[in-house]
């Protein structure tokens, strides 16, 4: 089609996630398999790479925006813009879950943290007793120094006994079929309680000037 020399791309094709050091494809394809296509970077400089008419340009590309151009009947056409993002990722998915404490009283705020190491882009899901009611607040901190880690914090305000149960985070790799999940058990009591174990009798005698210690274990 001389009026539409580039096959239209869907929005998902225009955002390209690639792991550090891996080759990728910039999928600008032409409706004419014999068309001469040039790849241009954001500085309007030509980028030399292998071109496959059924896939597009193949190679190791730095992060940035790229556009393809071609000629049809003496008229220059440009493709949509393609954005390449370089992500740091490992084949493994190190995940840790931690809670400041695992026993709460009604009305307190539950805080559980799930940390993903050495991966910049993951899909993370929480499962917990109050999820159906969307009770939890989720915050993400992307920490890059001194090392890469994604810190997901789940906060449950005004906890009740119904918030007792398993708190589980599941992380899925952005580009590989790898997932990892971790779990912690949280207990919420209706009210606090103290257990005392006195290590002395109900009645104790003491001599004049004698020093006496009274010991109580508190749980």
What is the tens place of the pLDDT at every residue in 75-110?
Answer: 899 999 999 988 877 777 899 999 989 999 999 999
Max CA distance (Å), the chain = 116
> Which domains does the chain show, CATH number per domain?
11-87 (2.60.40.10), 95-189 (2.60.40.10)
In whole angstroms, what is the distance from residue 124 CA to residue 174 CA? 10
Spell out, as residue ranges, where the chain has pLDDT lower than 70: none
Determine the pLDDT at residue 190.
Answer: 92
Determine the pLDDT at residue 121.
Answer: 80
Determine the pLDDT at residue 89.
Answer: 74
Determine the pLDDT at residue 91.
Answer: 73
129-153, pLDDT tens digit by residue? 999 888 899 999 999 888 889 999 9
Question: CA distances (Å), 133 to each of 70, 103, 146, 158, 163, in order?
Answer: 54, 21, 37, 13, 11
Helix residue ranges, H only, the chain: 11-14
State pTM to two decimals: 0.61
Determine the pLDDT at residue 219.
Answer: 86
Determine the pLDDT at residue 11.
Answer: 83
Determine the pLDDT at residue 32.
Answer: 85
In whole angstroms, what is the distance from residue 114 CA to residue 98 CA? 7
């Amino acid at each position: 089609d001389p009026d539409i020399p580039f096959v239209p791309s869907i929005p998902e094709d225009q955002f390209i996630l690639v792991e550090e050091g891996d080759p990728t494809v910039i999928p600008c394809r032409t409706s004419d398999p014999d068309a001469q296509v040039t790849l241009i970077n954001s500085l309007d400089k030509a980028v030399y790479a292998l071109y496959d008419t059924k896939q597009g340009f193949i190679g190791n590309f730095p992060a940035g925006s790229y556009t393809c151009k071609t000629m049809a009947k003496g008229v220059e056409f440009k493709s949509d813009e393609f954005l390449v993002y370089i992500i740091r990722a490992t084949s493994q998915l190190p995940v840790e879950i931690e809670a400041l404490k695992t026993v709460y009283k009604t009305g307190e705020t539950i805080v559980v943290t799930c940390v993903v190491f050495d991966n910049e882009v993951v899909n993370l899901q929480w499962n917990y007793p109050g999820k159906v009611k969307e009770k939890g607040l989720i915050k993400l901190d992307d920490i890059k120094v001194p090392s890469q880690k994604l810190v997901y914090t789940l906060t449950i305000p005004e906890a009740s006994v119904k918030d007792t149960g398993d708190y589980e985070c599941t992380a899925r790799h952005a580009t590989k079929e790898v997932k990892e999940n971790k779990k912690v058990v949280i207990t919420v009591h209706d009210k606090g309680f103290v257990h005392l174990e006195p290590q002395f009798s109900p009645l104790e005698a003491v001599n004049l000037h004698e020093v006496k210690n009274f010991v109580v274990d508190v749980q």
